[in-house]
Structure 1
Amino acid sequence: MQIAEVNGTRLHYRIDGPADGAPVVFSNSLGTDLRLWDAVLPHLPAGLRILRYDKRGHGLSEAPKGPYSMGMLVSDVEALMDHAGMTDAVFVGLSIGGMIAQGLATKRHDLVRAAVLSNTGAKIGTREMWADRIAAVEAGGIAALADQVLERWFSARFRATPEFHAWRNMLLRQPREGYLGCCHAIAGADFFTPTAALRLPVLGIAGSEDGSTPPDLVRETAELVPGSQVRLMRGVGHLPCVEAPEDYASILTGFLKAQGHG
């Protein structure tokens, strides 16, 4: 376990692969930690230098009192990459991680050479929707909406498996303050204009059963960037890297090779 102090907050992170490997950064969804990518990594090409981390308020990172802003979350991973000496990376962001990817690519061209916008949007939901979610968690904790969230996260097929319960427990065990802080960050974020100004390789990944960021939203977001491509994964929900890790890794590998990144 490695801890870096950035922006006054201690973040938990992990680096796998050789020091001279091509850098790839993974950023998680709301309510998950860096284990989100565990099943994907073994299927990626050898020799990559992979950075994963728990964003503030999640996993083993500190959970300072919120609300958080998207700018704060972008600044956190910016400082973490600087701390790790990583530049010119392919940044893979899922859900809120995809919003962080858009913000970082806009802010630091030296850090992001290509972006994977997985199960995300330039804007996700409405302020009213997030206000309702925040109120529910404040009143009853994450458990108050866990079942609704998990139905959007996973296909019915996956929810019938034993593995599903581990992901339910992961969601329930996230710090309440951190979950709320990140809800505020998503509610206030709108990247349509800055993302449309990006000029870098972009891959969108969508799940056909995604109830949080439907395929049309992912496509609309990725296609803001000229030359982008979108891959639809069928039969999976909001976390395709969990439901179909080999297929997900195959898509990532194709994108990495197309960029000469490896």
Structure 2
Amino acid sequence: MKFLKTADAVIHYRTHGLETGKPVIAFANSLGTDFRIWDEVIERLQDRFAFVLHDKRGHGLSDLASAPYTMDDHVKDMAALLDHLALKQVIVCGLSVGGMIAQGLYASRPDLVRALILSNTAHKIGTPEMWNSRIDAIRKGGIAALLEPIMERWFTPPFRVESNSLYAGCCTMLLRQSAEGYSGTCAALRDADFTAQAPAIAVPTLCIVGDQDGSTPPALVQSLADLIPGGRFAVVEGAGHIPCLEQPDAYVAALRPFLAESA
């Protein structure tokens, strides 16, 4: 296991193939998940790419630090990790809040970013009222109280069946996250808005979404792509909010043409 101590947090991270000199993809995860959500993507792309993964503060094996967080906290953690690894000009792939972290990383440290994959995300997600309501619900009943509605947004009905062991594992992954870390990141999402920064993105950018995403629907992700000069847009059929888990083959197939041009 690898850990990095930043200014005010200890971040759990993993690398694959950095010694090979292959182009690097740095991943940023969604709310309530850890970096294992990218395992199937890495398996399919490891012949051509190297990887950096990390658990956001308050998630996985990274420590809680001082919640609630700002988006800038998450951005600085990712920048610190890439600096620690002496990496520049990486392809940054962020899902949901990870996509907002990716946008913030480009806005503050464009030297680190070669291209962006903004997956199931937007320039602004939800409303303050929505996020405050979710924070209150977690304080009262923990993450378990929101398990079913979260899973309905994350995955399509055919995936959410008792016989699907991967679905069961995803439920366990969410339930094992820190309630304080989850709600702390809800606060970061509540206060983040990259609407003004998106038109200044000047690197190749792919915005991708599951066709049945209940958290960041296709129209919202399309609106982000429309803000970005030259922004591309792709839809993964038969997927909800986490297509890299639900439809990894289709997800990677949608990424390949973009990666071939951006690497």
Query: What is the rounded CA distance, in whole Å, between the counterparts of 1:145 and 1:196 in structure 2?
Result: 35
Counterpart of 1:219 in structure 2 is 222
Does the Cα contact within 8 Å between 1:43 and 1:250 map onto a contact in 2?
A: no
Once the two structures are overlaid, the 10-residue window that deviates more, 61-70 or 186-195, is 61-70
Q: Distance in 2 between matches of 1:163 and 1:81?
A: 31
C-alpha distance in structure 2 between counterparts of 1:7 and 1:238, whole Å: 32
Tell me which moved more, 7-16 or 41-50.
Answer: 41-50
**Aligned residue number for residue 134 of structure 2:** 133
Corresponding residue of 1:187: 190
- Aligned to 1:26, the other structure's residue is in SS state strand
Contact 2:236 2:254 in 1 (8 A): no
User: 2:95 & 2:61 partners in 1: Cα distance?
Assistant: 19
Cα drift, residue 7 of structure 1 = 2.1
Q: Which residue of 2 aligns with 1:10?
A: 10
Cα displacement (A) at 1:26: 0.6
Q: 1:244 aligns with which of 247, 259, 262?
A: 247
SS of structure 1 residue aligned to 2:159 = helix
Q: TM-score, normalised by structure 2?
A: 0.97
Instruction: Provide the residue aligned with 1:65 in structure 2.
Output: 66
Alpha-carbon distance in 2 for matches of 1:229, 1:170 = 31
Tell me which amino acid in the other structure corresponds to 1:2. K
RMSD: 1.0
| Aligned residue in 1 for 2:104 | 103
Shift of residue 30 of structure 1? 0.1
Amino acid at match of 2:176: R
Provide the C-alpha distance between the structure 2 equivalents of 1:176 and 1:226, rounded to a whole number of angstroms: 38
Mapped contact 2:8–2:65 kept (Cα < 8 A): no
Which residue is 1:232 aligned to? Answer: 235
What's the CA shift for 1:18?
Answer: 3.6
Partner AA of 1:179 in structure 2: Y
Structure 1 Cα separation of the partners of residues 59 and 193 of structure 2: 22
Aligned counterpart, 1:165: 168
1:206-230 CA distances to partner (integer Å, 9 max, x unpaired)?
Answer: 1111000000011101221111111
Contact 1:64 1:177 (8 Å CA) reproduced: no
User: Shift in Å at residue 47 of structure 1?
Assistant: 4.0
Report how far residue 45 of structure 1 moved.
4.8
- The equivalent of 2:148 in structure 1 is 147
Give 3-state SS (helix, strand or coil) of 1:101's partner: helix
Please give the secondary structure, in 2, of the residue aligned with 1:131: helix
Q: Is the 8 A contact 1:44 1:250 kept in 2?
A: no
What's 1:94 paired with? 95
1:201 — aligned with what? 204
Partners of 1:112 and 1:48 lie apart in 2 by: 15
Q: Is the 8 A contact 1:65 1:177 kept in 2?
A: no
Aligned residue pair count = 260
- Residue 29 (structure 2) pairs with residue 38 (structure 1): no
Which whole-Å CA distance do the structure 1 matches of 2:5 and 2:234 have between them? 36
Alignment identity in percent?
46
CA–CA distance in 2 between the matches of 1:60 and 1:89? Answer: 24
Match of 1:75 in 2: 76
Determine if contact 2:238/2:247 at 8 Å carries over to the other structure: no
User: Deviation above 4 Å: which 4+ runs of structure 1?
Assistant: none
Structure 2: runs of 5+ lacking an equivalent = none
Provide the rounded CA distance (Å) in 2 between the counterparts of 1:247 and 1:15: 24
Q: Deviations over 1:175-202 (max 9, x none)?
A: 1111011000000000000111111111
Is 2:102–2:116's contact at 8 Å kept on the other side of the alignment? yes
Question: Cα deviations across residues 138-168 of structure 1 (Å, max 9, x unaligned)?
Answer: 0110011111101000000100122201000
